[in-house]
């Protein structure tokens, strides 16, 4: 048993060291600031976007299959994101000329047979020195020392990091999950509710737990048709 505890402690230490070396900012931290040149001009982040939700989205390389599908899917979501007061900023280690050429090419692609080509309005930032990527822990040395991992940071209007994802080079991100998380965060902030596992927009949400069983009984006595009790500390709420 003692040997198992030692092994477990070593694994935890190794993981924490790797995470620390990647220098990943934590959920709740203020988003690290940077200035960068992009396909839409110079960007001061997050200052230029304070007061709005932000998705910082890194990718390994321009003119590659998986990255192209990801950016095309992001482009299809631009109108929805605009309605959610959310800005997308994309970053990789490629140069600005490469970004501009890639965007121009993608805007001619009929990505889906039932869709026309889409215009890419969000900026692609060049980070060929990796200075920005390192601030966000987007360089994972055991994957690559020169290419950014597939990272996503969702950042709120006060410039705090609220969620983050990392994917390997060979697997594209699920844009529906990114949108689901953004929607969940906005609803949680706006309605002061919690979001259950596997929630999808329009589904029931969770109430904050009553502090005591007596408080739960008072809640039940209200006979609110939008509330559903599972047990005294677990209450679902139907959103109108």
Rounded (5°) CA angle 118-124-125: 175
Q: Which residues are catalytically annotated? A: 67
Question: Do the bridges between strand 124-126 and strand 86-92 make them parallel or antiparallel, or are there none, so unpaired?
Answer: parallel
Alpha helices, H only, the chain: 2-22, 65-76, 78-83, 96-106, 131-135, 175-191, 213-221
Report the pLDDT value the prediction gives residue 136, as an integer from 0 to 100. 96
Q: pTM higher than 0.85 for the full model? A: yes
- Domains in the chain, start-ordered, CATH in brackets? 22-173 (3.40.30.10), 192-240 (no CATH)
pLDDT band at 2 (very low <50, low <70, confident <90, very high): low
Does pLDDT of 238 surpass 90? yes
pLDDT digits (tens, 9 = 90+) for 107-158: 998 877 777 888 999 999 999 999 999 999 999 998 988 899 999 999 999 9
Q: What is the pLDDT of residues 183-236, one digit of tens each?
A: 999 999 999 999 999 999 999 999 999 888 888 888 888 888 999 999 989 999
- Could you tell me the sign of the dihedral formed by the alpha carbons of 20, 25, 29, 35, in that order? positive
Exposure string of 197-229, with b = 16+ CB inside 10 Å and e = fewer, is: eebeeeeebbbeebeeeeebeebeeeeeeeeee
pLDDT tens for 7-53 read: 555 545 444 444 445 589 999 999 999 999 999 999 999 999 999 99
Residue 205's closest CA among 213, 214, 196? Answer: 196
């Amino acid at each position: 048993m003692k040997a198992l505890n030692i092994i477990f402690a070593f694994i935890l230490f190794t993981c924490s060291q790797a995470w620390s070396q990647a220098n990943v900012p934590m959920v709740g931290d203020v988003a690290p600031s940077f200035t960068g040149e992009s396909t839409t001009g110079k960007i001061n982040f997050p200052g230029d976007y304070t007061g709005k939700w932000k998705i910082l989205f890194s990718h390994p390389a321009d003119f590659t299959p998986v990255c192209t599908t990801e950016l095309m899917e992001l482009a299809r979501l631009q109108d929805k994101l605009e309605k959610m007061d959310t800005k997308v900023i994309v970053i990789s280690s490629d140069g600005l000329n490469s970004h501009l050429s890639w965007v121009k090419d993608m805007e001619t692609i009929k990505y889906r047979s039932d869709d026309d080509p889409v215009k890419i309005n969000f900026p692609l930032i060049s980070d060929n020195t990796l200075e920005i990527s390192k601030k966000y822990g987007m360089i994972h040395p055991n994957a690559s020392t020169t290419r950014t991992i597939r990272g996503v940071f969702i950042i709120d209007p006060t410039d705090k990091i609220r969620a983050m994802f990392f994917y390997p080079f060979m697997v594209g991100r699920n844009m529906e999950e990114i949108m689901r998380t953004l929607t969940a965060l906005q609803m949680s902030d706006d309605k002061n509710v919690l979001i259950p596992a596997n929630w999808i927009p329009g589904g029931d949400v969770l109430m904050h737990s009553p502090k005591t069983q007596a408080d739960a009984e008072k809640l039940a006595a209200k006979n609110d048709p939008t509330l559903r009790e599972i047990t005294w500390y677990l209450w679902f709420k139907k959103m109108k």
